[in-house]
Amino acid sequence: MDPINVFEYEALAKQLMDPVYWDYYAGGSDDEVTLQVNRTDFNRIRLRPRMLVDVSHCDTRTTVLGQLIEMPIMVAPTALHGLGHTEGEYATAQGAGAAGTLMTASTESTRTLEEIAQAASGPLWFQLYIFHSLKLAAELVRRAEAAGYQAIVVTVDLPILGNRERSKRHTISIPLSALKEMVTGVEEEELRREPMTWETIDWLRSITHLPILLKGILTAEDAVLALEHGVDGIIVSNHGGRQLDGAVSSIEALPEIVEAVGGRCEVYMDGGIRRGTDVLKALALGARAVLVGRPILWGLAVDGSKGVQQVLKILQTELERAMKLAGCPTVASINRALVKWT
């Protein structure tokens, strides 16, 4: 029997995968408190569905930065898809495209950004880590532009790596060699780690005309700064509970950021999305769309591109059902009154 929800994909993927790789995908930092609350905080939110609305034509489509997608659910950037499936990011890109949505390719992919773009049938964003010199970052941006990526997603919550204890407990470590070296022809001395600040965002703004999104914002204060520095979108995220443990859940952080932004740019969120109703709650709290991390990897590990497509399809079907049951025929009709905190 095919999996009927993403939790069944999770169980299957766990069975299939090498425990070391599994723990890399599944784990959070320290005591995994934030990883947990990313899920449990959704249960603190209750839906207030409306009845007797004509939902016979229910439309899950939306746009993100003007790009039409079939559902307000996108693929979050995650590293090392090669650990889950031999086809790696190829499969993910194909699955996402087949499902009619956008994929964000990670800097830490096991395929080059050009290879991913070639394999992809849907729109792409490029997730950028600025670890080394700005010259390297500029090179990646230029390549992303050339390959047709539609936006640069700068991940800002990883000045250093979080404390992932599951991995520390394994004697075997993740084969980072699998990482496709995205950057070549750079002088050795340029490989020093570059501190990333708001000035780095200004610099990035100056070198590309692509929209810039910041991924990893968790406070209203930083959202306001982001606007001042001219970003085009904000992804509310705690990196799936893998960076600062004890940080607020994404869904708890979302409202204050939406309020601070006041419609001046698009706000997305990721972290803990596992059901169509989770998407509905996030949208009701002001997210334009959500991104999904681990469930995509579960689909990938279980069934390659077909698994990715199927996971997205399940979430879309669940969202559509939830929208109908909540009296929301369109994404635009989802609003704040749909939810209450308990």
Ligand X SMILES: Cc1cc2nc3c(=O)[nH]c(=O)nc-3n(C[C@H](O)[C@H](O)[C@H](O)COP(=O)(O)O)c2cc1C
239 in catalytic set: yes
The yes or no reply on residue 4 touching a copy of itself (CB under 8 A) is yes
Instruction: Please check if 155 is assigned to a binding site.
Output: yes
The yes or no reply on residue 239 touching ligand X (CB under 6 A) is yes
Instruction: Please check if 321 is assigned to a binding site.
Output: no
The yes or no reply on residue 137 touching ligand X (CB under 6 A) is no
Distance CA 23, CA 90 (A): 22
The yes or no reply on residue 281 touching ligand X (CB under 6 A) is no
SS3 238: coil
Q: Rule CB under 8 A: choose which of 85, 111, 275, 288 binds a copy of itself.
A: 275
Half-sphere exposure of 117 (CA within 13 A, CB side): 15
The yes or no reply on residue 164 touching ligand X (CB under 6 A) is no
- Size of residue set near ligand X by CB under 6 A: 23
The yes or no reply on residue 312 touching a copy of itself (CB under 8 A) is no
The yes or no reply on residue 336 touching a copy of itself (CB under 8 A) is no
SS3 261: helix
Instruction: Please check if 293 is assigned to a binding site.
Output: yes
The yes or no reply on residue 155 touching ligand X (CB under 6 A) is yes
- Size of residue set near a copy of itself by CB under 8 A: 68
Binding to ligand X, residues 219-238 (CB under 6 A): 237
The number of residues in the chain equals 342
Q: Answer with the entry of a copy of itself, ligand X, none that 293 interacts with (C-beta below 5 to 8 A by kind).
A: ligand X
The yes or no reply on residue 324 touching a copy of itself (CB under 8 A) is yes
Binding to a copy of itself, residues 79-108 (CB under 8 A): none
Q: How far is CA 74 from CA 68, 275, 326, 327, 340, in A?
A: 12, 14, 22, 23, 25
Binding to ligand X, residues 42-81 (CB under 6 A): 76-79
Binding to a copy of itself, residues 153-192 (CB under 8 A): 156-157, 159-160, 162-163, 165, 168-169, 171
Q: Rule CB under 8 A: choose which of 75, 79, 214, 273 binds a copy of itself.
A: 214
Q: How far is CA 290 from CA 71, 75, 102, 273, 315, in A?
A: 9, 9, 11, 8, 11
Q: Which stretch binds ligand X (CB under 6 A): 165-173, 191-199, 239-247, 320-328?
A: 239-247
Contacts with 325 (C-beta within 8 Å, 6 or more apart), sequence order: 49
Binding to a copy of itself, residues 223-242 (CB under 8 A): 225
Cβ atoms of 234 and 265 closer than 8 Å: yes
**Looking at the DSSP assignment, which residues form a beta bridge with residue 234?**
214, 267
**Concatenated DSSP letters of 177-229:** GGS-----S--GGGGSPPPP-HHHHHHHHHH--S-EEEEEE-SHHHHHHHHHT
Token pair for 246? 């004890």
**Looking at the DSSP assignment, which residues form a beta bridge with residue 212?**
152
Instruction: Please check if 313 is assigned to a binding site.
Output: no
Distance CA 164, CA 173 (A): 12
The catalytic site residues sit at: 239
Contacting positions for a copy of itself (CB under 8 A): 1, 4-5, 30-31, 33, 37, 42-43, 45-56, 156-157, 159-160, 162-163, 165, 168-169, 171, 193, 195-198, 200-201, 214, 216-219, 221-222, 225, 243-249, 252-253, 275, 277, 280-281, 318, 321-322, 324-326, 337, 340, 342
